[in-house]
Amino acid sequence: MNNNTLYRIDKRDWIYDKQKLKLPKTTYNEQHRAFWQSEAFELKNSCSIHGCITAITNQYPSVTFSLEDRKDILVMATERGFSSEWGWYMASAVKCVADYCRINKGIDLKYYRVNWKHFRKLTKLGFGVVTGFKIRDNFGKDRFDDGELNGSGGIYGDTKYGHLISLWSVGLSKWYQRLVYVDNYANKHRLNETKINHRHLAKLVADDVLFSNGYIYSLK
């Protein structure tokens, strides 16, 4: 499996349940920061890490991640179980990147597990949701057919691997917003941003394509 992140949550996580959270300073709609996860050879299976850092750096623009930072995170991740052969787990990556930021970036972040039913609301508030897909047959066809995951590629087939991304709400104004997922191949393919109609979220979850949970970061 390439660029693989397996779906795993931690039952000890704080769970978002309409708590009042400190809103992000900015969002992807303003920053448009994204990464190429395979920029260095050792990072080639690191979508788990890059989905997390994309969420953090767009919400908190003073936190930047150089190539050397990302390699350092990978060292920490490897000590915790990251495999260069297949990748890692979603929950483990979320915690690892938060710990790295606390130790090395001077920002103390809390993370919450969130159910897919809250994805749209939280992205409209400015949060990036770290979540993923089970990449299945016809996923790419659906995506590249019209730049949107909407079933245009036909029925999804067998699962190939898991892939972590960040989900955002972008648009021209607070009245006009759309969901996009931001991939980890900035400037490497034309659809690093892929649209998702919010009405299609439930079907993507029911079809076992979109992860049914994700994570957000917030300042303590």
Coil vs helix vs strand at 45: coil
The enclosing domain of 209 has a CATH number of 3.90.70.10
Instruction: Give residue 188's pLDDT.
Output: 93
Distances (CA, A) of 167 to 91, 98, 120, 132: 16, 18, 9, 9
Instruction: Give residue 3's pLDDT.
Output: 55
3-state secondary structure string, 86-128? CEEEHHHHHHHHHHHHHHHCCCCEEEEEEEHHHHHHHHHCCCC
Model-level pTM?
0.94
pLDDT means per 10 residues in the chain (220 residues)?
79 90 93 95 94 98 98 98 94 98 97 96 95 92 89 84 95 77 93 90 92 96
Token reading at 208: 């076992």
Whole-angstrom distance between the N-terminal and C-terminal Cα of the chain?
36
Distances (CA, A) of 158 to 3, 43, 211, 218: 17, 26, 16, 35
Instruction: Give residue 216's pLDDT.
Output: 98
Which one-letter amino acid corresponds to residue 126? G
Instruction: Give residue 185's pLDDT.
Output: 95
Instruction: Give residue 200's pLDDT.
Output: 87
What is the domain count for the chain? 1
What is the extent of the structural domain holding 78?
Answer: 4-219
Instruction: Give residue 127's pLDDT.
Output: 97
Instruction: Give residue 172's pLDDT.
Output: 62
